Chain A
Amino acid sequence: MRHTIAVLVENKPGVLARVASLFRRRGFNIESLTVGTTERNDLSRMTIVVEGDDRVVEQVTKQLNKLIETIKVSEISEGSVERELCLIRVHAPPERRGEIVELTNIFRARIVDVSRDSFIIEVTGDEDKVNAFIDLMRQYGIKELARTGKVAMVRGNKR
């Protein structure tokens, strides 16, 4: 099973290395990891997607909590807001551009760069949506692809 964990950490040098080192040492598998700043400039937020059963997630959570620089660890359950951004360079010969533009519109994605025989398309959404869009683009030939990994937030009022 995949779980999404949000970790609030002090914004200090070496914190990312510490978290990465912990995952490697304890044999936890990171599916994706994003780091960025938060509403406070002394804190960063990591969103980590891990693969494992409930026991693994419990250990991940407890071990992350043990790091001195960790302020808070929360598991983000189903039904929260989850987003990922993906850039796709897709092969786009003149005769197929119409179709690609149409699909891009349906997915509320955007074409952000146009060159002689390719587009760069930006698509944002939850994982399923991004996956579906990528699948559709395959028929045209994907030349390059970059995903940010997931960021997530629980719905409703902040506790």
Chain B
Amino acid sequence: MRAADALVKALEMEGVEVVFGIPGGAILEVYDALYDSGIQHITTRHEQGATHAADGYARASGRVGVAFATSGPGATNTVTGITNAYMDSSPIVVFTGQVPTSLIGNDAFQEADISGITMPVTKHNYLVTNPKDLLRTVKEAFYIAATGRPGPVLVDLPKDVTLADIEFDYPKRISLPGYKPKTDGHPKQIKRAAELVMESERPIILAGGGVIISNASKELVELAETIPAFVVTTLMGKGSIPENHPLCLGFVGMHGSKYANYAVSESDLIIAVGCRFSDRTTGNLEKFAPDAKIVHIDIDPAEIGKNVMVDVPIVGDAKKVLARLKKYIQYKQRKAWEDKVNEWRRKYPLKYSPDGFKPQYVVERVCEIMPDAIVTTEVGQNQMWAAQFFKVRYPRQFISSGGLGTMGFGFPAAMGAQVAFPEKTVIDIAGDGSFFMNIQELATCVKYEIPVKVLVLNNGYLGMVRQWQELFYKERYSATCIGCEKTGFEAIAKGFGAVGMTVESPSDVDDALKEAKDIDAPVVIDFRVDYQANVFPMVPPGAALNEIIDEE
């Protein structure tokens, strides 16, 4: 059997239903094999779009996302998407074409050393030089991407390898002696953690993206209710507990609520699950939660003790460990702490000035009108407003580029999520700057009838950067005015064959959203919001979480 056909058959056996990509010379064999297959292929307009779409598909569905690209420029175009998936532990497998093995190293036409380039940004990668290794490699790639701490795997396929004749003998077992993720959690440490919980008067749970990846939301909520403990999340952890749950304090960190940041700062015990204490979450590390002991549960041992000193390390899968931990815990009322946190919650709600046309208002209305929609975000102020004002109800509902902060991620990710869930409403809360970074995928959405709704909070600025210039660079607005008030997103959308709308006043927001929701086609709404709106509260760079400031 031609190796390319064997590859496609292997993908079918892995349960792959859809591939995002763009063909080219070096990967022609594989595309030829795909022609006869039941796997759907979505031709994106840029390989970055393909990798982000595969990533969005993976995050929304929990399955492995797959992308194809040709050698050279096709392959290098995938790098941002791969890095993005790596930083947020998203399982994708990227197959790239490569020049024939006989030409590798010769600077052949469209040769790029993509396995070398992506070495530091993949969980693992392969250059297949012997056709006999192809099927084993595919098997390993999917296994590595999806298990342990998930992540992207790249498989580089020289043209002669895909052309070769091989037996179709798909391996059933995997032999990776150096790869054995620990999932159970050490019983002694779990007991020790339970003791700390029982001793604690001011416990808090910090839930990260790992809770969502491990499908551990149920266990998380049960543990929180049993203790009981308030839950704060990281940006990636949004959705690990319904945000209308009385114990949920929303997300913590640079733009989290004051009450979430105060609660973490004054806690005496942090049970951190599936998070990595990134600088955006902790603020100034030296002053981070000074009174708190820390229990850190993570599947990746290297994350434990990397950024903060930990009292009880537990290496394991969040779902298993949380369920076990709960068994050792008895309900204990902590009235004073509860009252204190609730008082903060009353005193310091998230707020914004209501006059003019505020982007926050748009997000609030979206949350009201499309409460169950899958929401992706771009990066910048739009992302933070979405995180602050869209109250997420279920895991995998909120999809955002956390680790890499990739402008241009949200739209193709929404496309991928919509492909995974054709019946759901999928929206991208976008900024005008970010939307431009992958706006070409509108053509893909139109072609494949992927009815994503792009809600552009158009402030005419690279708003988040403008905000920093306003606050920390004496209002010297260097290079941040991009003048999108002159850009007609409505006309652009129409030019692509999508639906376009423009909304210039808050009174028109509801009608536009309701109308868009019912349109079974891609829609772009250009919300002409006030450009001066800033994201608050904010932990200034270098400050501690409890040094969080308001607008004035």
| Chain A contact residues, CB within 8 Å of chain B | 9-10, 13-14, 17-18, 21-22, 25, 55, 58-59, 62-63, 65-71
Nearest B residue (CB) for A24: B120
Nearest A residue (CB) for B309: A55
In contact, B120 and A68 (Cβ under 8 angstroms): no
In contact, B116 and A17 (Cβ under 8 angstroms): yes
If A14-B115, A21-B119, A21-B120 touch, does A67 touch B178 (CB 8 Å cutoff)? Answer: yes
If A68-B124, A68-B144 touch, does A10 touch B302 (CB 8 Å cutoff)? Answer: no
Alpha-carbon distance between A9 and B116 when the two chains are bound, in angstroms: 19
In contact, A68 and B306 (Cβ under 8 angstroms): no
In contact, B306 and A59 (Cβ under 8 angstroms): yes
In contact, B302 and A59 (Cβ under 8 angstroms): yes
In contact, B305 and A55 (Cβ under 8 angstroms): yes
In contact, B178 and A69 (Cβ under 8 angstroms): yes
**Which residues of B in the span 235-261 have a Cβ within 8 Å of any Cβ on A?**
none
If A14-B127, A17-B116, A25-B120 touch, does A66 touch B176 (CB 8 Å cutoff)? Answer: no
Q: Is B55 an interface residue (CB 8 A)?
A: no
If A17-B119, A21-B119, A68-B124 touch, does A58 touch B305 (CB 8 Å cutoff)? Answer: yes
Quick one: which of A22, A55, A62, A68 contacts B301, CB cutoff 8 A? A62
In contact, A68 and B176 (Cβ under 8 angstroms): yes
Alpha-carbon distance between A70 and B123 when the two chains are bound, in angstroms: 13
Q: Is B356 an interface residue (CB 8 A)?
A: no
In contact, B178 and A71 (Cβ under 8 angstroms): yes
**Which residues of B in the span 123-147 have a Cβ within 8 Å of any Cβ on A?**
123-124, 127, 129, 144
Nearest A residue (CB) for B129: A13
Which chain B positions have C-beta within 8 A of A21?
A: 119-120
In contact, A71 and B177 (Cβ under 8 angstroms): yes
Distance in angstroms from B296 CB to nearest chain A CB is 13
In contact, B116 and A65 (Cβ under 8 angstroms): no
In contact, B302 and A18 (Cβ under 8 angstroms): no
| Chain B contact residues, CB within 8 Å of chain A | 115-116, 119-120, 123-124, 127, 129, 144, 176-179, 300-302, 305-306
Which chain A positions have C-beta within 8 A of B123?
A: 68
Known: A62-B302, A68-B123, A68-B124. 13 other contacts (CB 8 A): A10-B177, A13-B127, A14-B115, A17-B116, A18-B119, A21-B119, A21-B120, A25-B120, A59-B306, A66-B302, A67-B178, A68-B179, A69-B178
Alpha-carbon distance between A63 and B123 when the two chains are bound, in angstroms: 11
Nearest A residue (CB) for B140: A68
Listed A/B pairs (29) with beta-carbon separation below 8 Å: A9-B178, A10-B177, A10-B178, A13-B127, A14-B115, A14-B127, A17-B116, A21-B120, A22-B120, A25-B120, A55-B305, A58-B305, A59-B302, A59-B306, A62-B301, A62-B302, A63-B302, A66-B300, A66-B302, A67-B178, A68-B123, A68-B144, A68-B176, A68-B178, A68-B179, A69-B178, A70-B178, A71-B177, A71-B178
Alpha-carbon distance between A65 and B181 when the two chains are bound, in angstroms: 11
Which chain A positions have C-beta within 8 A of B300?
A: 66
Which chain B positions have C-beta within 8 A of A69?
A: 178
Alpha-carbon distance between A25 and B123 when the two chains are bound, in angstroms: 14
Alpha-carbon distance between A17 and B120 when the two chains are bound, in angstroms: 10
Which chain A positions have C-beta within 8 A of B119?
A: 17-18, 21
Nearest B residue (CB) for A42: B177
- For B116, B123, B178, B305, the residue with the greatest tally of chain A CB atoms inside 10 Å of its CB is B178
Which chain A positions have C-beta within 8 A of B301?
A: 62, 65
Which chain A positions have C-beta within 8 A of B116?
A: 17
Nearest B residue (CB) for A18: B119
Which chain A positions have C-beta within 8 A of B177?
A: 10, 71
Which chain A positions have C-beta within 8 A of B120?
A: 21-22, 25
Which chain B positions have C-beta within 8 A of A67?
A: 178
Nearest B residue (CB) for A8: B178
Which chain B positions have C-beta within 8 A of A65?
A: 301-302
Nearest A residue (CB) for B306: A59
Distance in angstroms from A15 CB to nearest chain B CB is 10
Distance in angstroms from B444 CB to nearest chain A CB is 33
